[in-house]
Amino acid sequence: MNAFLSAIVTWLSINFGLPASYDHPEIVFVPAAQISEFVYADAGKKNRQDVIAGYNDVRRVILLPDSWDDKSPADLSILVHEMVHHLQNLSEIEYACPGAREEPAYAAQDRWLKLFGHNLFDDFDLDRMTLKVTTLCYWP
């Protein structure tokens, strides 16, 4: 896995200008329900969305579902998305809001998928409006 993570880091650095760091996160495979609990720990059950994966900035851990398949372009793209967050965290890149932090992660994920003739919208049943709203900052 470390060699593959290094390849992702190099690819992200070249294609998205993220600072390359080969201090890899821990990868933990858990049931999908535990990922939602991890991401929404303080939010309660109200307004929870399904979460596919997660990254913990403090522990430097990526949570992937135990169904994750290293031969699936879609599943690999999930790891690419979370590695963006890992590199953002290590390089202490600041964003105006959590949504703004998601924009480069989704862009990298979609570009990765296109390497395999796939795309974010079809593989994850996502529409452009939902993606746009997910990456916006909302101000009260």
pLDDT tens sequence across 74-105 = 999 999 999 999 999 999 999 999 899 999 99
pTM: 0.91
For the domain made up of 2-134, the CATH class stated in words is alpha beta
Percent of the chain with pLDDT over 70: 91
Q: Where are the domains of the chain?
A: 2-134
d(CA 34, CA 45): 13
d(CA 29, CA 35): 9
pLDDT exceeds cutoff 90 at 43:
no
State the SS3 of 40-54. Answer: CCCCCCCCCCCCCCE
Q: Are 105 and 85 in contact (CB under 8 A)?
A: yes
10-41 pLDDT tens trace? 999 999 999 999 999 999 999 988 888 877 66
